[in-house]
Amino acid sequence: MIPSIAWKNIWRNKTRSLVVIIATALGLFGGLFASAFMLGVSEERVNEGIRYETPEIKIEHPKFKENLEPHFAINKAPEMTAEIAKIPQITGISPRVVSSAMVQTATTSTGLTLFGVEPVEEKKVSMLYQTIWKAADIPIKRPDITDIAKFVADSCGSYLTDDQHIPIIIGEKLARKLKVKVRSKLVVTMQDYNGALTGGAFRVVGIFRTNNTQFEEANAFVLRKDLASLMALPDSTVMQIAIRLNDQKQVNVIAQQLRKMFPGLNVFTWEESDPILGMINGMMVLYIYAFLIIILLALGFVIVNTMLMVVLERVRELGMLMAVGMSKWRVFSMIMVETVLLTLTGGLIGVLLGYITVLATSSSGIDLSSVSEGLRAIGYSPIVHPQLDIPFLLAVTFLVILTGMIASVFPAIKALKLKPVEALRQE
């Protein structure tokens, strides 16, 4: 009975109730869509990081990460990869030779990390081969291009293959910095296995483009056999073993299994390899909940103010109800239910609008190409796909109900303090 009376009371002043419902709906709609947008940004960043930059799991010598010195290497790599391949959840294993290096052209030089990989195995671990510039990627409709065929030939490239001669692929940012293109020569200098300086000339066969210009500028890839030869490495020696799984959720389980298999080596998950990347998801969820709580607090104050006005307007009515026998508990319950229903109505409308908007934009994405260079500088994609899941929506609905209950306490207590005799005297 009380819920029915409370619902009717809400609509006694339609304008005021509609204002509160619309304010609640718009506030939650904005909060949910902003949350979905931020979740989409963070999820895209993490996925791209794992897809192109950091393997899901990698194995290294305990001291290699500190200074990338080549003598801190993994021996007997073929035997290790054979053991690792027996784990059914693992779909890709790529032994890598890794070295800090200095790359030079006729005009400039810069430092980077050089990865020596086996192309077939590397494709099972990293999707970087999908980002090599192709003819379809080149903006040929430019007024400064007089020979389109030559421009496309100079710009396009390919991924590493075993039959190429001293090939190297570099990022677009590094190519611009060094002022090189496909088929340009680069001189690379590094430290060999014995600590002496060594180097060689490589020819650019491809330029990759990701949504992280820092990664593009700081990393390059060559054939493992070429880099191992320059560094005088034994055939079975590598610095890193990169691993990909068929289910990302199993990363920690498989990493723990590998630690037991190889107790003398370090096994890093992608979150441990790149702490910033690993922190993004957790921190983003905290920011989102803090953001929503701030919105709900603001709405809570609006609701408290509205319900106090309701109580003050109905002093005589409430006094009469108590005078004819309605208990104070029923009066308290009626005010609380009114507040919760008012909040929940606006909240559910806001949640529904937010969910529909997220569904409408999640598949096609939101294009932020106008600020793409700024986003790529910090590693984010210019196409954002907002995301929301059902547990999050249920959590928001619970917070809405909780806000309504908390906001109803003060007005309800105000109603309880009314004395029937004094309330009946008021006009």
Q: Where are the domains of the chain?
A: 2-49+279-425, 55-273
Cβ atoms of 11 and 294 closer than 8 Å: no
Residue 70 above 70 pLDDT? yes
Give the phi and the psi of residue 193 in degrees, each rounded to 5: -60, -25
Name the residue with higher pLDDT: 376 or 254: 254
Q: Which of 117, 125, 130, 124 is nearest to 222 (CA)?
A: 117
**pLDDT number for residue 41:** 85
| Residue 78 burial class via C-beta count within 10 angstroms: exposed 0-12, middle 13-18, buried 19 and up | exposed
Residue 72 to residue 147: CA distance in whole angstroms: 49
Range 368-381 average pLDDT? 75
Kindly indicate the confidence band of residue 321, based on its pLDDT and cuts at 50, 70 and 90. Answer: low
Residue 72 above 90 pLDDT? no
Name the residue with higher pLDDT: 384 or 309: 384
Rounded to two decimals, the pTM is 0.77
Q: For 263-278, how does the pLDDT look when each residue is reduced to its tens digit (9 = 90+)?
A: 989 999 998 888 877 7
Q: For 95-154, how does the pLDDT look when each residue is reduced to its tens digit (9 = 90+)?
A: 999 999 999 988 888 999 999 999 999 999 999 999 887 654 555 444 444 554 554 455
**pLDDT number for residue 417:** 66
**pLDDT number for residue 60:** 92
**pLDDT number for residue 145:** 46
Residue 23 above 90 pLDDT? no
Residue 188 above 70 pLDDT? yes
Name the residue with higher pLDDT: 55 or 332: 55
pLDDT mean across residues, the chain: 83
Residue 163 to residue 19: CA distance in whole angstroms: 71
Weakest mean pLDDT among 61-70, 367-376, 418-427 = 418-427
Tokens of 238: 């590598």
Residue 419 above 90 pLDDT? no
DSSP string, 250-283: GHHHHHHHHHHH-TTSEEEEHHHHSHHHHHHHHH
**pLDDT number for residue 143:** 44
Share of the chain above pLDDT 70, in %: 87
- The total of other beta-carbon atoms located within 10 Å of residue 335's CB is 26
Residue 426 above 70 pLDDT? no
- The total of other beta-carbon atoms located within 10 Å of residue 208's CB is 24
- What residue type is 8 in one-letter code? K
**pLDDT number for residue 124:** 93
Kindly indicate the confidence band of residue 420, based on its pLDDT and cuts at 50, 70 and 90. Answer: low
Kindly indicate the confidence band of residue 67, based on its pLDDT and cuts at 50, 70 and 90. Answer: confident
For the chain, give the number of residues.
427
Name the residue with higher pLDDT: 260 or 402: 260
Range 236-252 average pLDDT? 91
Nearest-10 crossing angle of helices 14-48, 328-362: 40
Residue with tokens 């496909």: 182
Range 198-222 average pLDDT? 91
Residue 14 to residue 25: CA distance in whole angstroms: 16
